[in-house]
Structure 1
Amino acid sequence: MIESKAWDWSKNQSTQWLVPAIEACYLSESWKSKGFKRFLDLGCGLGRHSIYFAQKGYEVNSVDLSDYGINHLKNWAEKENLNIKADVCDMLNLPFANDTFDCIIAYNVIYHTDTKGFIKSLEEIKRVLKNKGELFITLLSKNSLTYQSADQYKHVDNNTILRDEDDTERNVPHFYVDIEDIKKYFREFDFVGIPVEQTEYNMDNTEQMSKHFKFIVKK
C-alpha cells in the first residue's frame, strides 16, 4: 500500500476551494430532512464544506492529512464563531468509534491513494458510518484524459498513477475507476440514485478535460 501524501495547500492559488461544491446545498437539505446531525468532512482541505455544514446546524468533524489545511479551517471556524472539531489524520486510519456519523462527504479525496489504500479507506468509511447513514463521494473516471494518456505518468498499479502537472498535488497518487469498479467496490452499500459521470473542461484548451463520478450510497 502506497504511503498517503497530503496536498501542498500552501501552493494553492485558486479560490474555488473556499466555495462549497454545488452538491452541498442539496445534501444539507436532504440529510436534514432525514434527521441526520453528525457530519464528517473527510479530506476537508481548506474547510469549505465543514464551514457550510456547521452554518447549517450540523455537528461537524473534519479531518485531513494536511496540517496547513486543518490550521486554515480552525482559523476560519474561529472567525465564524463555529464549533468544528478538526484534526490531522490519515484516511486509512480514522480516529472515530464505529457507527459515529450520520453522513459523510468525501469530495475529491479517497482516490488519492492506490487500489489497496482505496479499499482500506472505504472500509474505514463504512466502519464509522451509522447503519442507514449516507456517503457522498466523487471518484476519478478512467475516461479522463489523464488516465487515457497514462503512459506519460508513473504507474503504481492498474488503476493508479502519479501525476505531476499541479504543484498542489505533485506525486500524489490518483486512483481511477469505471462503472464496473464502482459496482465491485460498493457492493456492500445501497446506491441512492444512479452514479453520474460528469466532464470538466479546461476552457483555455478544451481538449484537456477530466471526468468524475459523483454518487450517494447508504450503509
Structure 2
Amino acid sequence: MDTKKNEWNNSYINKDNYVFYPHEEIIRFVSKYIKKRVGISDFKPIIEEKKGLDMGCGIGRHIIYLDEMELEPYGIDISDYAIEYAKKWFYHENKTHLIDRLTVGSVEQFPYEDNSFDFVISHGVLDSMEFNTAVIGVLEVFRVLKKGCYFYFDVVSGDDFNHYREYAGEELVKSEHEKNTIQSYFNYRKIKKLLGDNFEIIECILIQRESVINQIKNSRYHIIAKKREL
C-alpha cells in the first residue's frame, strides 16, 4: 500500500488531480436516484436516508457537492496528501463539519461498519489499480452499502486511438499525469466480472469524447448498480 500511496501522493503534489467541480454524471446520478434540487433551497428526496460514501474522494470535490445537496457525505482516499488538502479546502469554505468525515485508507479495507451507507460513489478510481484489487474494493462497497441501495462508478474503455473497443488489459501509466500508476481498461464483460453476483447493473452508459483538432479520443463507462438482497 505504501508504494501505491507514494505514487498517488506524487500525483497530487504535482497538482495533476486538482479538480474542484463535481462530475456531471455524479450530479445526474444524485438527481435521479438520491435527491433532486427543485429550487434555490428546495429539494425532493428520492430515498429516505442520506448517508453516502465517496470512495477515492481525492481533494473532496464531491464531498462538498453532496453536502450542498444536504446529504451526509464521507470520504476515503489512499493519498494522505489529498486528504490534508481536502481538510484545508473544507476549512476555507467554512465546512469544518466535514473534516472528521475524511479518512486515509485503501479500498481493500474500509473502516466502516456493515450496511452503514445509503449510497456509494466512485469517480475515476476502480480503473486506477490492478483488477484483483478493484474486486476487493467492490466487495467492501457491498459490505458497507445497505441492501437495495445504489453504487455509482466509472471506468475507462479501450475505445480510443491506441486500443480497441473490447480491450480489457492493464498498463503502467508512463505519462506525467498519474505516472507509474496502473490503468486498467474495461469492457462490459469485465464490468460484470468486477461486480459479480452481488450487484444488479441498472445503467451502463459509454460516453466518448473526441478532439477533432488534436485527434485525442477517450471513452468511459458510467455504471449504476444496485446491491442485491441476497
Cα deviation digits, residues 109-165 of structure 1 (max 9, x gap): 0111112111111111111111111111001112234545xxxxxxxxx72110111
AA at the equivalent of 1:69: A
Tell me what 1:151 maps to: none
Tell me what 1:78 maps to: 91
* Superposed displacement of residue 203, structure 1: 5.8
TM-score under structure 2 length normalisation: 0.81
Tell me what 2:181 maps to: 172
- Aligned counterparts of 1:146 and 1:2: Cα–Cα separation in 2: 31
Tell me what 1:199 maps to: 208
AA at the equivalent of 2:56: G
- Aligned counterparts of 1:130 and 1:53: Cα–Cα separation in 2: 18
Correspondence 1:181 to 2:197? no
- Aligned counterparts of 2:50 and 2:221: Cα–Cα separation in 1: 26
Question: Which of residues 54, 65, 75 is equivalent to 1:52?
Answer: 65
- Aligned counterparts of 1:36 and 1:174: Cα–Cα separation in 2: 34
Tell me what 2:159 maps to: 143
In structure 2, the CA distance between the partners of 1:11 and 1:216, relative to structure 1 (3 Å rule), is same
Correspondence 1:110 to 2:110? no
Gaps (5+ residues) in structure 2?
A: 36-45
Matched residue pairs, number? 206
Tell me what 2:226 maps to: 218
Question: Which of residues 206, 209, 213 is equivalent to 2:217?
Answer: 209
Tell me what 1:159 maps to: 169
AA at the equivalent of 1:162: L
Report which stretch shifted further, 122-131 or 75-84.
75-84
- Aligned counterparts of 1:111 and 1:103: Cα–Cα separation in 2: 20
- Aligned counterparts of 2:196 and 2:130: Cα–Cα separation in 1: 19
Gaps (5+ residues) in structure 1?
A: 149-157
AA at the equivalent of 1:213: Y
In structure 2, the CA distance between the partners of 1:202 and 1:63, relative to structure 1 (3 Å rule), is farther
* Superposed displacement of residue 18, structure 1: 0.7
Tell me what 1:20 maps to: 22
Tell me what 2:4 maps to: 4
SS where residue 49 of structure 2 aligns? coil
In structure 2, the CA distance between the partners of 1:14 and 1:162, relative to structure 1 (3 Å rule), is closer
Cα deviation digits, residues 31-56 of structure 1 (max 9, x gap): 12122311111101111101110111
SS where residue 69 of structure 1 aligns? helix
Q: Is the 8 A contact 2:135 2:195 kept in 1?
A: no
- Aligned counterparts of 1:14 and 1:128: Cα–Cα separation in 2: 27
AA at the equivalent of 2:181: V
Where do residues 86-125 of structure 1 align in structure 2 (5 Å cutoff)?
86-125=102-141
- Aligned counterparts of 2:82 and 2:130: Cα–Cα separation in 1: 22
- Aligned counterparts of 1:93 and 1:4: Cα–Cα separation in 2: 15
AA at the equivalent of 2:78: L
- Aligned counterparts of 2:34 and 2:129: Cα–Cα separation in 1: 28
Q: Aligned-pair RMSD on alpha carbons?
A: 2.2
SS where residue 151 of structure 2 aligns? strand
